[in-house]
Amino acid sequence: MTDSRPTLAVGMVGHAFMGAAHSQAWRTAPRFFDLPLTPTMQVVCGRDEARVTEAADRLGWAETETDWRRLVARPDLDLIDICTPGDTHAEIAIAALAAGKHVLCEKPLANTVAEAEEMAVVAERAAADGVRAMVGFTYRRVPAIALARQLVAEGRIGDIRHVRAQYLQDWIADPEAPLSWRLDKSKAGSGALGDIGAHIIDLTQHITGERITEVSGQLETFVKERPVAAGDTAGTLGGGGASTERGPVTVDDAAVFIAHFTGGGLGVFEATRFATGRKNAIRIEINGSRGSLAFDFEDMNVLELFDASEPDETAGFRRILVTEPGHPYTGSWWPPGHGLGYEHGFTHQVVDLVRAISDGTDPSPTFADGLQVQRVLAAVETSSDTRSWQEIPA
């Protein structure tokens, strides 16, 4: 693609599932959206030389590095994209910001509140020098979710009374599914709670424009030991094939909690990897004083709206197909009715990040937003351990 626009040279750390999704986004964003800077897929970084070389070829990166410290120190890069497990986020992001690179960091922001606090402080300092940091809560950029936020902000459903949110997967419902880094607390921080619960915490706060103030929750690990993975398979959730050796699962399999929101509404949350038959169901229903909204990622191009001001005889949940040119993001894609998929949220994330960098504004969600989600996660964990309500510091 020949282009006279200034470039934004990207270096990405990690090249498994998230690395592939981010690569697709960097490649696609400038081809479908009018961007002020053209991202270049300069360097991909991974520890194993053979595997990172193969990934660079497959995903479209020009060069490789095997040490993230060398990547971050390269003067020819403008942005570092972090797609590694949570235990490395803080160190890489802080080093990258200190080196003057913009940062996109996968969710959850970190493995602990202390790490997230430090990241937020460093990011705020960097922002004063025009260096931007964003956390990858990509589902915010699903058009139906973006529309839901707009409708709430316009007052279409009134005051929020109930927030019902579920994130349902089943990829470890089989007790013989092997251990992977996602089941290791030292790498992942937590299990279903941080991996997918973090998304519904972010989404519900984003859509409502409100904050969770207090939680009471319960975590459960149903299968406490699993076969040790024989190898690490990039791009899969479960890791490599199983061996006969077994090891401990050190994270939660499922998390449930109830919550209070700043506007007085009540929330009910469920995040599980044991919802047999549910692959990636993110279900959100919000009931307000004037109407309701409902979303299900398994039908991700649709938002349901109930408007309580309509006559009882004809009122009902309306199915809005969120593919019109006037809907968020959709005008840059296909004609109405030709829906989008999982990967498009990542593309929209890149679009918003690149525009913010060019405009000199903070992209959202900021590291401070990521820290707030981290505080909710920690509060749910403490609540489960102590069987008590926990407040979330503002």
Would you tell me which residues interact with ligand SOE (CB under 6 A)? 17, 169, 195-196, 237, 280
Tokens standing for residue 330: 């959709």
Residue nearer to ligand SOE on the CB measure, 184 or 195? 195
CA dist list (Å): 358 to 35, 38, 216, 355: 9, 11, 41, 5
User: Nearest to residue 25, comparing CAs of 362, 358, 354?
Assistant: 354
Q: Please, what is the minimum distance in Å from the beta carbon of residue 167 to ligand SOE? A: 8
- Residue whose CB is less far from ligand SOE, 17 or 334: 17
Task: Select 341 or 393, whichever has its Cβ closest to ligand SOE.
Answer: 341
Are the beta carbons of 299 and 248 closer than 8 angstroms?
no
Nearer to ligand SOE, 8 or 21 (CB): 21
Least CB distance to ligand SOE at residue 34 (A): 27
Tell me how far, at minimum, the Cβ of 192 lies from ligand SOE, in Å: 8
Q: Token pair of 18, please? A: 């998230």
Which one, 188 or 378, has the nearer CB to ligand SOE?
188
Shortest distance (Å) from residue 254 CB to ligand SOE: 13
Question: Closer CB to ligand SOE, residue 24 or residue 40?
Answer: 24
Return the number of the residue (181 or 389) whose C-beta is nearest ligand SOE: 181
**Residue, CB closest to ligand SOE:** 195
CB of 107 to ligand SOE, least distance (A): 6
Angle at 321 between CA 293 and CA 209, to 5 degrees: 35
Q: Which of 62, 77, 68, 66 lies closest to 27 in space, CA to CA? A: 62
Least distance (Å) between residue 196 CB and ligand SOE: 5
The span from the CA of 234 to the CA of 240, in Å, is 8
Q: How far is the CB of 184 from ligand SOE (least distance, A)?
A: 14
Cβ 218 to ligand SOE, closest distance in Å?
Answer: 20
Decide whether 142 or 357 has the Cβ nearer to ligand SOE: 142
Q: Which is nearer to ligand SOE, 297 or 367 (CB)?
A: 297
CB of 85 to ligand SOE, least distance (A): 10
For 72, the token pair is 């971050």
* Least distance to ligand SOE, CB of residue 41, Å: 21
Taking the least distance from each CB to ligand SOE, the nearer of 237 and 281 is 237
